Each structure stands twice: as C-alpha cells, then as structure tokens.
Chain A
Amino acid sequence: MKSHLLPDFIVERIEDRCNKCGVCVKQCPWGVYSWNDDKTDILIDYTKCVGCQRCVIYCPNNALIVKPYYGSYRPNSYWTKEVILDIKKQAEQGGVLLVGTGSDRPYKVYFDHILLNASQVTNPSIDPLREPMELRTFLGRKPDQLEIEIKDDDIEIKTELYPNLVVETPILFAGMSYGAISKNAFLALAMAAKEFGTMFCTGEGGLPKDMREEYGPVAIVQCASGRFGVDPEYLNCAAAIEIKIGQGAKPGIGGHLPGEKVTAEISATRMIPEGTDALSPAPHHDIYSIEDLSMLIYALKEATNYEKPVFVKIAAVHNVAAIASGIVRAGADVIVIDGFRGGTGASPKVMRDHVGIPIEMAIAAVDQRLREEGIRHKCSIIASGGIRCSADVVKAIALGADAVYIGTAALIALGCTMCQKCYTGKCAWGICTQDPNLAKRLNPKEGAKRLVNLLRAWSLEIKDMLGGMGINAIESLRGNREHLRGIGLEEWELRVLGIKGAGE
C-alpha cells in the first residue's frame, strides 16, 4: 500500500560546511542518513526523521538544521493536519495510534494562569543569600497531635509516630521503570537522588539486585498491576513502597513492555522469562474496590514491619477528591496524583489526549476535600505530571501538595528532546531504549550531574520565590493559597483552585 503520510520533519544540510565525516550516519537510529554506494556522499531520507535533534547536536561542523516539515494541506482549523494524518495512519495500519511522552494538546495550562505574591513594606522579604531558607520536607502520615511528657529535665514523646521520608528539596523523581528506560538512565536518576538527598521511584520494573544496597535507601519501589520484580527483599531494601493504580498519561489502562525490550537483565529484575512481553493489566486484579486496596496496603506494611510509608499513585480523574479521601482512609501514607499531562513511554494517543484532568485542579480539589474531612495531615500529597519549572513546583505546593514528582523534566535534563518516539525503543539519546549501542550514549555519571544541577537550580529558585513572599520554610507555603492569584480565569476555575483573581 502506498503511504499517504506527509513527513514530520525536513533536514537541511549546509553543503559548504559538511565534510562528509559520517557522524550523522552513526548518530541517527531512525535511518535518515546513509552513505551512497562509493561512500562519497551522504544521502538524506528526511521522511524518517522524528526531530530528535541528535544529529544536529553531534554534527562537528554545525552543518545540519532539522525543522518541522512545512508543506501542508489546505489550512483548516477543524480538519487540521494532525487530524488528517491520524486518519490516514489508521486507514493504513488499522490499529491504535501509539505515542510517547505526555499530552501535547493545547489545553489550558493553569500553572500559566496563576501568579505568585511577594512582600512589600508591611512584611520584609527574606534574602536567601543571607538567611537560612529551608526546603526539607517530610512525606508520610502525621499524628493528630503530640503527647509530650516532661519530667524534671527529661522530655519524652509519648505519641507513636508513623514512618516518614525526609527529602532535602520537595522534588522527587517519578516512577520510570527499568525496561521503559535504559539501565544508564535509571542509574543516573538513582545516583542523583542519593547525591541531592531526595528519592527516585523505580516504576514497575523492579530494582536490579546490584543497585539495592547502594540505592535502596533512596528508592521508592513500585508495586504495580503486573507485580514485576516484587519480592520481600525488593520491598525491604527500599525507603518506601508505591502502589501504582494509575498513570496520568493513560488513566484506566495498563502497560505493555514489548518482548524485544526484555533483555536478560530486565528479565531477571522483573522476574519474567527473557523476550516475553511484560503486560501490566489495566486494574490490579486483586483490587476491585477500596477495601481491597486497604488489604494490599496493609499486606505491604506487614511485609515490611510497618517501617516504610506506603504510597498510592492514581491518575487525576473526575472524582479524584473522593477517591483520594478513600485512599487515605484505606491507610495510605502518601497519595501521588498524576495529572493528565503526565508522561509515558507508550500510550494510546486517544487515552493520553482525552482522559483525565489537569494536575492543578486535582491538587486543589484533593487538598480541600481532605481538609474538610479533617484528614489532610494523615497523608502527604505528591503532585505529578507536567511539572516544568520551579514556579510550577511552588504553585503546586501552594495549591496543597507536599512535594512534586518530576519525570519528563528529569529526562529532558538527561538529553530527551520530546520527540515522542519512546515506544519505538530507538531513543537516540540512550534514555528510552535497551539497544546497548544506544544506551551507552548516556553516561550515568554525567547524567547524574545534569540531574543534580537541575535540582540545585530549581531549589535555588524556589528559595528566591519563598524569600520574596517572606517565608523561610517550605512548610509555610503548603496549601497557602493566599500567595496565589489567578489571571484570565473564570469564576468556577478560581473557585475550584481556591484562589482569588489578580487585584482581589
């Protein structure tokens, strides 16, 4: 069948700069570049280009430009180029359209409609360069109150405490499994988390045995519907356990790691035969209702002697507030809410682009509901899905989150350029691939350095924003919606977010 698809990108070569060194041929895993028969010229098939920009960055002569293909159909604001191409793809292939990364649809970005406050006159701003500015964050259940016994000079806390995680910045790495991403990318996340004093989540692909001793203490190990890699040692080596119910990029459906990605080491880590597809069912088949979730939470707590907080991760869906309330009552110590912008290695396009709600709305609704029910302190809330910068972190926390997960932003720090082809396994940057030749492009040490730099940069910016508001500890920002104002929002949007409009 002759394909009717238009190319996505076009590659331009500045001929007088190109000396035919062949780096582009080596760097491009998509087959755009090839030598001619007598190796005197490099041929370009731009129809295969995904726009990952690998060749552009690595061309030693800066001879390449990759830009969106500008040829198009008759302009139509309803039957857009994307709509037409999707139909053509499905007409040719008859299947579900697959995509990687979070939704790129132009839905309203609420973060960009919220502005922050700063002190003037009546309240001094605090200079983070001169005064301590504290970002340390505790994640987990807190008691209603502390009972403290004071006898002469001795002070003792009588109240029984629940296990909490301590992180030095309210930013953690979101679950990205070994299998979906390369060992090197996975390792870089673990190393950076350890160095900076935060945590990384393993995703559902287990934790390789050789990483447990060193990185277990900074790992949040996931227990997902496929139960890959879950055994007592895995649970007990970790700092916390996360039950993954759903994911913002594909709420309501499971996952699928194709067999060709299941290498020997991944097979050992996931505890499945080499080369078999790793299928995560849509629901956990032992959780068909809230009391089943409670049983799994307590089974995991039993298995780890009640020493580790148990997280429950859900996608932000319509009734997220009521669901979250149930999850707290079921015994979860931390709730992770993944907004509809959340990333993925592979998702049906229709799920990614049409299911779920924005993280800003979800956090505001959940925080408010838990407070109304008097149980907000019984759990921590992690906002996940589409956190792009330190201002997003501050806004998410002021709306009610305790901390945030970053996934996509971390991968971008490692080299990702959001080409959305993660599901092909051919990631040119060595992140989302198990091809050893591609994976080795990512040096875990250098990757960790980039991640630590990112955490440091964002933390510095958060301190600046806090200081401006006259706040010197991150806990005084949590749920502090007084410091937020909406701009360009309707009444109902302000109401759901629980904030006032600018000037009010």
Chain B
Amino acid sequence: MIKPRDDKDFQACGLFGVMDRSGKRFNGKMVVEAMKNMHVRGNGLGGGFAVYGLYPEYKDYYCLHVMIQDWNEDAKREVDKFLDANFDIVHDEEIPTNEDANVVNPPLFWRYFVYPQKKGDDKRLSDDDYVIKKVMYINTKIKDAYVISSGKNMGVFKGVGFPEDIAEFFMVEKYKGYIWTAHSRFPTNTPGWWGGAHPFCILDWTVVHNGEISSYGTNKRYLEMFGYYCTLQTDTEVMAYAFDLLMRRQKLPIEIVAKILAPPMWDIIDHMDEKMKKLHTTLRMVYAPLLINGPWTVIVAHHGEMFGLTDRIRLRPITAGEKGDLLFLSSEESAIRAVCPDLDRVWTPHGGEPVIGRLNEKALKKVVE
C-alpha cells in the first residue's frame, strides 16, 4: 500500500451529515443511500462514516478503532502490549467485516474499549489529553498501526472504495447512531490509502472535509506551536486540529470559531457597530494564522453537536435541510432530497456562516448525561 507522497493531498469530495436532534438512534441505511446519490463526487479512492451513539453498552469507555496495515502481526502485538500497559482494556474484538464487499486489500480492523491508567507525569493530564498522547504515540511510533477513531460511544469506519462499498464492507447498516457523517473522496494525485480516508477523528471529534487549503503552510506551522504534528498529510488533519485547539482546548463555541476559520471581510467588519467591530477585529488579529483560506466545506461532529461550515467566500458551498428533528448537511441538495423528499426547509448558508445542530435539552440529558 502506498502512502501519500506530497505534503498534503488535493481533493474534491462529497460530504453528508444527518443528525436527529431528539437523540433518537437510527441505522446507516439513509446515509448510505444519500452517498450513493453523490457517487460521481468520489472516484473510489476513499469513503467513510462516523457514527455517534454507537456503543451505548460501553459508553463510559474510550473506544479505539485501530487499523493494522497489511495485517502486520508485529504491529497488532505491539498495539496490544502498548494498550495493556497504558489502559484497562475492558473489551476488545475484531471489527466484523464482509469479505464479499467490493474492496481491495483491506487491512485488519480491531476495536478496544479502554479506560486510562495514568502513571507518573501523565497523572497531570486530563483523560482526554492522555488519550490523545497515547493515540499520537501509536500513530507515529508503531509501524503499520493507526488509530482511526478514539472517542466514547462513537466510531469511524473508513477505507479505500466508494462509500457504498465501504458501508458494505463494515456492514454499517447494522449500526445505529443519532449523528451520522459520511465522506466520499476524489483525490487527484495520491493513491488511495486506507488511513487517508475520512472522517478524520480525534477523541470524539470527527471532521469530514472537502477542499484544498491554500493557507496550509501557515495553519500547519501555527498548530505545531501547540503540539499538533500533521502525520497523515492531509488538509483535513489541519482542519481537525484547528477545531480541537479552539473548541476543546480553548473552549470557544462554534459561533466564534466560525469567525476565526472563515472571518468576514475587513470591509464588513469596519461597518459593524463598535462592540462587534472590536470583537471581530480582535479575533482576526489574534487568530490570523488560523484563517483557513482556499475552497473548503466541513462537517464537524462531536457528542451532542454537528455543524457545517464553508470558507469565507463560499468557494465550496454546503446545503442544509430540516425535517422535524432531523437536520441534514450535504454537498448537494439532491442527496438530501433523495432520502427525505418532503423537507420542512432547505437552504444554502453564506460563506463562514455555520449551520449548527444541537441535541435538544431533553435529549441531551438522555444521551450525553
């Protein structure tokens, strides 16, 4: 299997996300149908799904989906040993797959439900930071092993193939969740690599992304100052780390984060009232290196929230739709209409304007506690 050769890969993709804001879980059939509708947005070199509310029976444990490239037994042994030394492994098993699916050379996929066992200096870290540190270790130090998702009560299934093939391979229609996001990939110059598919995940944060970031070098080097090193060599990784830094570590809400990643033009800011002008000016001044330039769309999810966002001049638009508690986000309206013809509302937000889905309060209590 060949890993990407360039610093970053160039791609155009299809994105889809659906959330039931009442927290009701539903299976993957709908999302697979929607992705089939956008078949031509991919070229069979990457597809994947993120599911929230996936493992209610293990909801208190971090679930690590680990990919073992080339079925490398040493890598598997090393991962077992490493996890055993750093976590209590509550349960682990091979992720069931369908051997008849139309995919080539799939790696081995294993899932571990774990609880952190912090020792020494690591005791100062929060559980989340501890998990990130250990995940980074596996991804960078253990050859042929990659953690593709690492949150609680959620998981990522992805690989090389069209999304419908990947769905068949992982049999995602058997799983249930209250948020599903999906991705179909069209890389222009890199061979498909199972680890390079989307969604990209860190803890329970997932990102599916479409676009090419022209500010990549600036963003990457700023994130490096905060300890994020881009190892998967995709633009998406930059996007995911930016969300992690701003939302999880710095605790900024998406409404603010949207204005950092895709800020309004100075011309607009200069005409705002004094208070908003100061806010937006300060955001741009302080977070200038995190302005994500170029054409992009993302759908980001973590427990309780899913949102979509496009670049500041909407070079890659996103369409949103609503039907009751269901919120849809998609690269194309047709994919939404294919699975839900009678929408209450459908719209295309302006560049830099996030569309946010949150669990309603009752559901929040039930699902996230």
Contacts and interface: CB of A to CB of B under 8 A. Distances in A.
A471 B218 CA distance: 11
Instruction: Assign chain A's interface to a size class.
Output: 35 or more
Interface of B: 7-8, 10-12, 188, 212, 214-218, 221-222, 224-226, 250, 252-253, 256, 265-267, 275, 278-279, 282-289, 291, 293-295, 312-313, 315
Those 7 A-B pairs whose CB atoms lie nearest each other, nearest first: A476-B215, A475-B288, A480-B217, A482-B217, A476-B293, A470-B214, A123-B212
Nearest to A161: B282
A128 to B, nearest CB: 12
Contacts of A379: none
A124 B286 contact: no
A476 B214 contact: yes
Contacts of A148: 252, 256, 279
A152 to B, nearest CB: 13
Nearest to A400: B221
B291 A476 contact: yes
Interface in A453-504: 469-473, 475-483
Given A475-B291, A480-B216, A481-B217, A122 B10 contact: yes
Contact of A155 (B11, B279, B285, B291): B279
A123 B10 contact: yes
B252 A134 contact: no
Interface string A139-169: 0001101101010000101000100100000
Contacts of B278: 157
B266 A471 contact: no
Given A371-B225, A471-B294, A479-B217, 5 more contacts: A142-B285, A142-B286, A146-B287, A157-B278, A482-B7
Given A123-B10, A136-B266, A480-B218, A376 B293 contact: no
A157 B279 contact: yes
Interface in A374-413: 374, 376-377, 398
Contacts of A416: none
B217 A146 contact: no
A61 interface: no
Contact of B265 (A132, A398, A479): A132
A126 interface: yes
A119 B291 CA distance: 18
A471 B215 contact: yes
Given A123-B295, A471-B293, A478 B288 contact: yes
A161 to B, nearest CB: 7
Given A124-B315, A475-B289, A469 B214 contact: yes
A376 B225 contact: yes
Contacts of B250: 145-146
A253 B289 CA distance: 37
B169 to A, nearest CB: 28
Contacts, number: 107
A376 B7 CA distance: 22
B266 A134 contact: yes
A138 interface: yes
Interface in A206-255: none
B77 to A, nearest CB: 35
Given A471-B293, A472-B313, A475-B291, A150 B265 contact: no
Residue from B12, B215, B224 whose CB has the most chain A CB atoms within 10 Å: B215
A480 B212 contact: no
A482 B266 contact: no
A131 interface: yes
A395 to B, nearest CB: 13
B221 A479 contact: yes
B274 to A, nearest CB: 13
Contact of A146 (B265, B286, B291, B313): B286
A15 B251 CA distance: 80
B17 to A, nearest CB: 23
A142 B289 CA distance: 11
17 contacts: A119-B214, A121-B188, A122-B12, A122-B188, A122-B212, A124-B315, A148-B279, A371-B221, A376-B225, A377-B289, A471-B293, A472-B293, A473-B293, A476-B291, A476-B293, A478-B288, A482-B216
Nearest to A164: B285
Contact of B215 (A124, A142, A480): A480
Contacts of B226: 374
B12 to A, nearest CB: 7
A255 B222 CA distance: 39
A155 B253 CA distance: 12
Given A122-B10, A148-B252, A138 B285 contact: yes
A131 B294 CA distance: 13
B311 to A, nearest CB: 9
Residue from B12, B214, B266, B283 whose CB has the most chain A CB atoms within 10 Å: B214
Nearest to B311: A472
A37 B295 CA distance: 76
Contacts of B215: 471, 476-477, 480
A476 B279 contact: no
B217 A483 contact: yes
Nearest to B251: A147
A479 to B, nearest CB: 5
B295 A124 contact: yes
Given A138-B285, A148-B252, A475 B218 contact: yes
A473 B265 CA distance: 9
A377 B288 CA distance: 10
A85 to B, nearest CB: 47
A157 B221 contact: no
Nearest to A473: B291
A124 to B, nearest CB: 6
B316 to A, nearest CB: 10
A132 B291 CA distance: 15
Contact of B225 (A150, A374, A481): A374
Nearest to B250: A145
Contacts of B286: 142-143, 145-146, 161
Contact of B312 (A142, A145, A470, A472): A472
Nearest to A374: B225
A476 B218 contact: yes
A377 B294 CA distance: 23
A136 B280 CA distance: 14
A26 B218 CA distance: 55
A138 B288 CA distance: 9
Residue from A124, A136, A143, A475 whose CB has the most chain B CB atoms within 10 Å: A475
Interface string A77-99: 00000000000000000000000
Interface string A108-131: 000000000001011110100001
A452 B330 CA distance: 47
Contacts of B214: 119, 123, 469-471, 476, 483
B218 A479 contact: yes
